[in-house]
Structure 1
Amino acid sequence: MSPNLNRFKHVSYLWDDAEAARLGGDEVGLLIYRSNLLGADLRLTNYGGGNTSCKVTAPDPLTGEPTPVMWVKGSGGDLGTLKKSGLAALYLNRLHSLESRYRGIEQEDEMVGLFNHCIFDLDSKAPSIDTPLHAFLPFRHIDHLHPDAAIAIAAAEDGERLTKELFGGTIGWVPWQRPGFDLGLQLRACLAANPGIRGIMLGSHGLFTWGDSAYESYLNTLEVIEACAAYIEGSLGKRRPVFGGQKLNSLPSDLRLKQAAALAPVLRGLCSSAQPMIGHFTDEARVLEFINSNDLGRLAPMGTSCPDHFLRTKISPLVLDLPADADLSRETLHEELLPAFKAYREMYAGYYASCRHDNSPAMRDANPVIILYPGVGMFSFAKDKQTARVAAEFYANAINVMRGAEAISAYTALPRQEAFDIEYWLLEEAKLQRLPRPKPLTGRVALVTGSGGGIGRAIARKFAEEGACVLINDIDEERIAETAGLFRSLFGADAVAASPLNVTDQASIDVALETAALTFGGVDILVNNAGISISRSVAEHTIEEWDRLYDILVKGQFMVSKAVVACMRKQQTGGDILNIVSKNAIVAGPNNAGYGSAKAAQAHLSRLLAAELGPDGIRVNAVNPDAVIADSNIWAGGWAEGRAKAYGISVEELPAYYAKRTLLNKTILPEDIANACFVFVGGLMSKSTGNALNVDGGVAMAFTR
Structure 2
Amino acid sequence: MTATDQFSHVDYLWDEQKAAALEGDEVGLFLYRSNILGADLRITNFGGGNTSCKTIEKDPLTGEEVEVMWVKGSGGDIGTLTRSGIAGLYTSRLRDLKNVYRGIEHEDEMVGLFYHCLYDLDSRAPSIDTPLHGLLPFKHIDHLHPDALIAVAAAEDSEAVTKEIWGDTMGWVPWQRPGFDLGLQLEKCLNENPGIRGIVLGSHGLFTWGDTSYECYMNSLEVIEQVSRYIAEREGKDRPVFGGARMESLPDAGRKKQAAKMAPILRGMCSSHKRMIGHFTDDERVLQFINSHDLDKLAPLGTSCPDHFLRTKIKPLVLEMPSDADLSNPEAIKTQLEPAFEQYRKDYAEYYESCKHPDSPAMRDPNPVVILYPGVGMFTFAKNKQTARVASEFYINAINVMRGAEAISSYTALPRQEAFNIEYWLLEEDKLKRQPPEQPLSRRVALITGGGGGIGRAIAEKLAAEGANVVLTDLKKDRLEEANQAFGRDISAIATCDVADANSVTEAFYEACLAFGGVDIVVHSAGLAISKSIEETELADWDLLQNVLAKGQFLLTKAGAKVMKTQGFGGDIINIASKNGLVSGPKNIAYGTAKAAQQHMSRLAAAELAADGIRVNTVNPDGVIVGSKIWEGDWAEGRAKAYGIKVEDLPAHYANRNLLKQIIRPEDIANGVFAFVGILDKSTGNTLNVDGGMPGAFTR
With the shorter chain as reference, the TM-score category is over 0.9
1:581 — aligned with what?
577
> What is the letter of the counterpart of residue 553 of structure 2?
Q
* Residue matched to 2:685: 690
* Residue 438 (structure 1) aligns with: 438
- Per the alignment, residue 665 of structure 1 pairs with 661
Q: Secondary structure at the match of 2:493?
A: strand
Distance, in Å, in 2 between the alignment partners of 1:572 and 1:383 is 17
Aligned to 2:551: 555
| 8 Å CA contact retained: 2:626, 2:651 | no
In the alignment, which residue of structure 2 is the partner of 1:516? Answer: 512
Which residue of 1 is the match for residue 59 of structure 2?
Answer: 60
**CA distance in structure 1 between the aligned counterparts of 2:434 and 2:294, rounded to whole angstroms:** 40
Which residue matches 1:606? Answer: 602
Is the Cα–Cα contact under 8 Å of residues 444 and 524 in structure 1 kept in the other structure?
Answer: yes
Counterparts of 1:205-224 in structure 2, within 5 Å, are 205-224=204-223
* 1:645 CA displacement: 2.5
1:635 aligns with 2:631: yes
Aligned-pair Cα RMSD in Å: 1.1
Q: How does 1:298-697 map to 2 (within 5 A)?
A: 298-331=297-330, 332-487=332-487, 492-682=488-678, 684-697=679-692
Partner residue, 1:75 = 74
Range that drifts further, 620-629 or 78-87: 78-87
Q: Is the 8 A contact 2:464 2:491 kept in 1?
A: yes
* Secondary structure of residue in 2 paired with 1:168: helix
Instruction: State the partner residue of 1:49.
Output: 48
Q: Deviations over 1:511-541 (max 9, x none)?
A: 2111111111111100011111111111221
Residue 108 in structure 1 maps to residue 107 in structure 2: yes
Aligned mates of 1:7, 1:644 — CA distance in 2? 70
Rounded Cα–Cα distance in structure 2 between residues aligned with 1:12 and 1:647:
66
Secondary structure at the residue paired with 1:308?
helix
Q: Which amino acid aligns with 1:397?
A: N
User: SS of the counterpart of 1:128?
Assistant: coil
**1:473 alignment partner, SS class:** strand
**How many residues align structurally?**
699
**C-alpha separation in 1, matches of 2:651 and 2:210:** 68
- State the shift of 1:23 in Å: 1.1
Instruction: Indicate if the aligned counterparts of 2:280 and 2:515 stay in contact, CA closer than 8 A.
Output: yes
Work out the percentage of aligned pairs sharing the same amino acid: 66
**Alignment-mate amino acid for residue 15 of structure 2:** D
Superposed displacement of residue 227, structure 1: 0.7
Quick one: which amino acid aligns to residue 125 of structure 1?
Answer: R
Deviation of 1:253 after TM superposition, in Å, equals 1.1
Q: Deviations over 1:211-249 (max 9, x none)?
A: 111111111111111111000000112232211221111
Greater Cα offset, 468-477 or 385-394: 468-477
| 1:239–1:408 CA contact under 8 A, matched in 2 | no
Partner AA of 2:438 in structure 1: P
1-structure distance, mates of 2:517, 2:112: 40
For residues 534-568 of structure 1, the C-alpha deviation after alignment (integer angstroms, 9 at most, x for no partner) is 11111221111111111111011101211111111
- Residue 99 of structure 1 and its aligned partner are, at CA, apart by 0.8
**8 Å CA contact retained: 1:281, 1:519:** yes
Which one is further off, 32-41 or 172-181? 32-41
Please list the CA deviations of residues 115-135 of structure 1 after superposition, one character each: whole Å capped at 9, or x if unmatched: 011111111211100000001
Distance in 1 separating the partners of 2:120 and 2:8: 40
Report the equivalent of 2:263: 264
TM superposition shift of 1:574: 0.7
Cα displacement (A) at 1:293: 0.8
**1:353 CA drift (Å):** 1.0
1:430 to partner: Cα distance: 0.4
Structure 1 position 699 matched with structure 2 position 694: yes
Q: Work out the CA distance in 2 between the residues paired with 1:179 and 1:644.
A: 71
After superposition, give the CA deviation of every residue in 1:79-121 in whole Å (9 maximum; x if it has no partner): 1111111111000111011111111111100100110111111
Using the alignment, how far apart are the partners of 1:605 and 1:34 within structure 2?
Answer: 59
In 1, the alpha carbon distance for the partners of 2:212 and 2:420 equals 38
Q: In structure 2, how many angstroms separate the alpha carbons of the residues matched to 1:11 and 1:596? A: 62
The residue identity in structure 2 corresponding to 1:480 is: L
The 2-side partners of 1:183 and 1:39 are apart by 23
Q: Which residue of 2 aligns with 1:137?
A: 136
Change (3 A) 1:136 1:538: same
SS at match of 1:47: coil
Secondary structure in structure 1 of the residue aligned to 2:485 = helix
Deviation string, structure 1 residues 387-408 (Cα, Å, up to 9, x no partner): 0000000000000000000111
The answer on whether the counterparts of 1:629 and 1:635 sit within 8 Å (CA) in structure 2 is yes
Question: 1:4: Cα distance to partner?
Answer: 4.7
Aligned to 1:11: 10
* Alpha-carbon shift at residue 162 of structure 1 (Å): 0.5
Looking at structure 2, the residues matched to 141 and 486 of structure 1 have their Cα atoms a distance apart, in angstroms, of 38
- Decide whether the 8 Å contact of 1:35 with 1:82 is kept in 2: yes
Q: For structure 1, which segment, 689-698 or 332-341, has the greater mean C-alpha deviation from structure 2 after superposition?
A: 332-341
**8 Å contact 1:292–1:374 — kept in the other structure?**
yes
Instruction: Map 1:113-128 to 2 at 5 A.
Output: 113-128=112-127
Cα distance, 1:702 vs. partner? 0.6
Unaligned 5+ segments in structure 2 are none
SS of the aligned residue for 1:486 comes to coil
Amino acid at match of 2:345: R
Kept in 1, the 8 Å contact 2:3–2:12? The answer is no
Task: Give 1:378 deviation, angstroms.
Answer: 0.4
| Amino acid corresponding to residue 339 of structure 2 in structure 1 | P
TM normalised by structure 2 equals 0.99
Work out the CA distance in 2 between the residues paired with 1:205 and 1:552. 56
- Using a 3 Å threshold, how does the CA distance of structure 1 residues 4 and 648 change in structure 2: closer, same or farther? closer
SS in 2 for 1:681: helix
Amino acid at match of 1:451: G
1:235 maps to: 234
Tell me by how many angstroms 1:475 deviates. Answer: 0.9
TM-score by length of 1: 0.98
C-alpha deviation, 1:648, in angstroms = 2.7
Amino acid at match of 2:45: N
The Cα of 1:633 is off from its aligned counterpart by 1.9
Aligned residue for 1:169, secondary structure, equals: helix
Mapped to 2, the partners of 1:388 and 1:685 lie a distance apart of 29
Displacement of 1:3 in angstroms is 5.4
| 8 A contact 2:659–2:694 mirrored in 1 | yes
> What residue number does 2:154 align with?
155
Structure 1 stretches of at least 4 aligned residues deviating more than 6 Å after TM superposition? none
- The one-letter code of the counterpart of 1:543 is L
Cα distance in 2, alignment partners of residues 602 and 19 from structure 1? 58
Output the amino acid matched with 1:662: N
Q: Deviations over 1:175-224 (max 9, x none)?
A: 00000000000000000111111100000000000111111111111111
Q: 2:101 is matched by which residue type in structure 1?
A: Y
- Determine the C-alpha separation between the residues in 1 that align with 2:185 and 2:260: 49
